[in-house]
Amino acid sequence: MVPLETDFPMSFCGNRLAEAIEEVIDLKNETYGHLDLDDVLDMLDWTDNITTGVASVEILSPYVPRLQKVIRFTDRFMPENNNVLTAYDASEGSLYVLFLLTIAMHSQAPRLFAVENFDQALNPRLARATVDLFCQAILGNPNQPVAFLTTHNPLVLDGIDILDERIRLFAIDRDNSGYSTINRVTVTEELVGQDGMTLSDLWVMGLLGGVPRL
């Protein structure tokens, strides 16, 4: 949970995401926090633009509870006279990507937080691209927040720069007595580059730990 004294507008369930995005996005300079807005839009390849604004009857069903602010997506595949959607119409994965990037860069976000199952709601390739941009967002944040991420998707590992000392990889296992063990995985450039193997390859092969002996 977010501490009560924080001014961070968004809950860890994603409530008030529109308000948090409004404080991060800069349409004039085409930036999303300290990231290039185009890099964020490339992650959501179905949309040409993201904005926030007051709920409107033109784009929001009268049966949907009204919020003060809503996220507006411009769908690049739909006719121009009917191509603005709200978060209610967007995919869960798109909202989740924005949630992750926002919490990584918002000036009032917690300095320490965890994301369990980082790859949830994301297809494998989007999960890989998202963790790459998420790391850029975290490392470029002057507040230097610390994020603990868990994943069961091998491709997530391919999105991190394991040779950057600020990014660390740990394998969680159970010992013979059933106790959980945490071991840092140290990967060298020589090991990653061996026979063109990626981190995901090494993990699936059981060379990094964190997987059962099946």
Q: Sketch out the chain's domains with CATH numbers.
A: 17-160 (3.40.50)
pLDDT tens for 4-19 read 345 777 876 668 899 9
Query: Where does the pLDDT of residue 152 fall: very low under 50, low under 70, confident under 90, or very high at 90 and above?
Result: very high
Query: Where does the pLDDT of residue 57 fall: very low under 50, low under 70, confident under 90, or very high at 90 and above?
Result: low
Q: Are 173 and 183 in contact (CB under 8 A)?
A: yes
69 has a pLDDT exceeding 60: yes
Q: Which two tokens stand for residue 208?
A: 């990094």
Query: Where does the pLDDT of residue 88 fall: very low under 50, low under 70, confident under 90, or very high at 90 and above?
Result: confident
Q: Which DSSP letter does residue 53 get? A: E
| pLDDT value at residue 31 | 96
pLDDT tens for 158-198 read 999 988 999 999 999 988 898 999 999 988 777 776 677 88
| pLDDT value at residue 14 | 67
Q: Are 114 and 78 in contact (CB under 8 A)?
A: no
97 has a pLDDT exceeding 90: yes
Mean pLDDT calculated for residue range 106-123 = 93
Query: Where does the pLDDT of residue 212 fall: very low under 50, low under 70, confident under 90, or very high at 90 and above?
Result: confident
Nearest CA-CA partner of 158 in 120, 197, 195: 197
Direct distance between the N- and C-terminal alpha carbons of the chain, in angstroms, rounded to an integer: 36
Contacts by residues 144-149 (CB-CB < 8 Å, ≥ 24 positions apart): 144/111, 145/104, 145/109, 145/110, 145/111, 145/112, 145/113, 146/111, 146/112, 146/113, 147/104, 147/112, 147/113, 147/114, 147/115, 148/113, 148/114, 148/115, 149/114, 149/115, 149/118
Q: Which amino acid is at 82?
A: N
| pLDDT value at residue 2 | 42
104 has a pLDDT exceeding 70: yes
Q: Are 139 and 105 in contact (CB under 8 A)?
A: no
Nearest CA-CA partner of 14 in 120, 126, 85: 120
Name the residue with tokens 């809503």. Answer: 70
Mean pLDDT calculated for residue range 89-106 = 93
Query: Where does the pLDDT of residue 70 fall: very low under 50, low under 70, confident under 90, or very high at 90 and above?
Result: confident
Mean pLDDT calculated for residue range 131-152 = 95
